[in-house]
Amino acid sequence: MLNVSSNDDRTTAARIRDAAIELVGRHGWDKTTTRRIAAAATVPVGLMNYHYGSKDGLRQACDDWVIARLAEDKGLILGAGPLPRLDTYLDEHPELRPITDYIGQCMRTGGPVAESFFERMVEMTQQMMDLAADAGTFRRYDDQYAAAVILVAFGAGASLFGDTIARLLGGANLLDADTYNRYARSSVEIFTHPLLTDDRYLQALATPDAPPDPPTTKDTP
């Protein structure tokens, strides 16, 4: 069972919370019943109500704990950044996988965990971009913050559509080695070799009243 906090004394309340995070990471809150959580935590349902009052109370407690955990472990966020290596990080810290699954479910449904995770990813992505720009490995953009927001938005698609992405790439799970390598390689290739071949669209945005010039083509006889 999930146990990733060095301060976690494995109390009944902690066991209930951890069981909920694991089950919700697999099935979502709508499909996770209080009885199922109590059974996974090996406690009577009444004890769950005693500690958390209701399923909503338990959900709030899980959200608060995961948000606090994000503040402690930057690897969970950096692993989901624009140059993804979350598979390697989870291989080294398999006990954290239930948290990433929980975050993925929250990203699909929205709420405070999704918002906090997104905001922290933006903050740390901008820091990473600034450091990489100083080192000469990343470009420095006119609006670094906006660039970080957009990069995180692109990356969040893996949380929202991970199963679909995996299927389209020929796998069952996005974090399976072959599937993830294909995903990561293509991601890095796009960042290394930009999609656009010239700057006419950027110039058009600088002068929004002027449409971009059409691509140059050779006349056919």
pLDDT tens by residue, 91-106: 666 666 788 788 888 8
- Rounded to an integer, the average pLDDT of 166-177 is 88
Residues 166 and 91 in one domain: yes
Range of 24's domain? 9-64
Angstrom distance (rounded) from CA 72 to CA 99: 13
pLDDT beyond 60 at 83: no
Would 215 be classed as within a structural domain? no
pLDDT beyond 60 at 48: yes
What's at 28, amino acid-wise? G
Domain finish residue from 64, 85, 109: 64
Look at residue 93 in the predicted model and tell me its pLDDT: 60
Residues 90 and 41 in one domain: no
- 202, burial (CB in 10 Å: exposed 0-12, middle 13-18, buried 19+): exposed
Look at residue 95 in the predicted model and tell me its pLDDT: 66
Residues 51 and 119 in one domain: no
| Total tally of structural domains belonging to the chain | 2
Q: Please enumerate, as own/partner, the contacts of 121-125 that have beta carbons within 8 Å and a separation of 24 or more.
A: 121/77, 121/80, 121/81, 121/152, 121/155, 121/156, 122/148, 122/149, 122/152, 123/148, 124/74, 124/77, 124/78, 124/81, 125/81, 125/82, 125/151, 125/152
pLDDT beyond 60 at 115: yes
Residue 14 has a CB neighbour count (10 Å cut-off) of 19
Domain with 53 in it: what CATH number? 1.10.10.60
Would 155 be classed as within a structural domain? yes
